[in-house]
Structure formats: structure tokens, C-alpha cells
Amino acid sequence: MPAAHGTDITLLDFFKALADANRLKLIGVLAHEPRSVEDLAAALDLDSSTVSHHLKRLARVGLVSARAEGPYSVYTLDLEALQSMAREHLAEEALPRLAGDADLGAGDRKVLATFTDESGRFTAFPSQRKKYLVLVRHTLQAFEPGEVYDEAQVNERLARFHDDTARLRRSLVDLGYMRRDRDGGRYWLETA
């Protein structure tokens, strides 16, 4: 089986290859210098067959390669491939793709179902901050970006969700979702 390089392997393949203490030790030893299976087995106090198995797993993802040297195969760590795979699969912009087809809104919907009635009004305020934030963010749908509201208009919109409009209004401002002028007479959504 040819070794995979770069985008040919998935993040799961990459982590599976590294998900063994003996394979990590092999990488560490090979980072110093190329070695034969027998040398690696002696250095790590493992059977040659075990070392060969682990080297095949690492070779499958392109992290090690072998060359014949007399009767032995000498293995070399491809440090550039290791660094490249780590950069590719663990880059900040690549991490959100790990979610795949996960339903990212499921948790919020569960909180809303627990703390709202059939009309969408809050039945209680959760004690957990994370759940409370879901309710506060839910109230944002009552406001338009770029619009300026006076306090009465803000209260009117928040009253759709709960009678404690002062608490919700303060939360929107304190949590940074909404801004207000110094005298508290004008409110608007905070933009990114």
C-alpha cells in the first residue's frame, strides 16, 4: 500500500497513527536518526514483530519510510510530513470542519424547549450561565441591526419573552450584545 501524503489522509488517520504510546516513542527515536527494526526493538524493549507492525502503521500515513541497507531495512522519520500534516489538520480554519454534519443548534433548542412555553415566553431563568446565555441570545431576534431603539421600544420587544424586561435589557448590554448611550435613552445591537 503506498504511503499517503498531505491531503490524502484524514485527520482520523493521522490521529490513529499517533494514538499509541509505542508509535510515539518510535517517532521520538527516529527523530534522532534513522534506525533498523532491530535497533528500534532493542531501544524500546519490544519484539521486532511489534515494531514492524507499528512502523507499517506510520508508513501507511507517510510518516516513516524504509530503505534497504544490506540485509536490513532502515526507517527514517519524515519530519516535514509530520509537521505538514499537523499544520493542515490542526489549522484554526480547518478545525470547524471537524463538526461535519453535527447539529450545532441542538443544545440551544433543548434549552429553549425546557425554559419556554408554547408561545415562546420564558417560563424561568436557568441558574447555569451557559443556559441563561441561550435565552438572552434568543431575544436578539426581536431587534434589527442598524436600528436604534428607545428604552420603551426595547422593553416592548423584550416583554414578548418575559415580564422582567429590566433584567433582560441589562443582560443584553452587560453581555455585549447591545449598546446604549450614556443616559440609557438609546439602544442598538452591537455589531462585530
Residue that finishes a domain, picked among 99, 127, 155:
99
- Nearest CA to 18 out of 66, 68, 90 is that of 90
Identify the three-state secondary structure at position 89: helix
Sheet of strand 64-69: strand arrangement: 35-36, 72-77, 64-69
How many domains does the chain contain in total? 2
CA–CA distance from 150 to each of 133, 141, 147, 164, 179 (Å)?
23, 17, 10, 17, 12
Burial class (CB in 10 A: 0-12, 13-18, 19+), 5: middle
Same domain, 81 and 160: no
Domain that holds residue 50: 6-99
Same domain, 94 and 115: no
Question: pLDDT by residue for the chain (192 residues), tens digit each?
Answer: 344 444 457 778 888 988 999 999 999 999 999 999 999 999 999 999 999 999 999 999 999 999 998 888 999 999 998 888 888 877 777 777 766 666 667 888 999 999 999 988 999 999 999 999 999 999 999 999 889 999 999 999 999 999 999 999 999 999 999 999 988 789 999 875
Same domain, 90 and 128: no
Grid coordinates given for 26: 518510535
Same domain, 110 and 92: no
> Residue 115 has what pLDDT?
94
Same domain, 87 and 121: no
Does some domain include residue 167? yes
Same domain, 112 and 175: yes
CATH number at 57 reads 1.10.10.10
Same domain, 71 and 55: yes
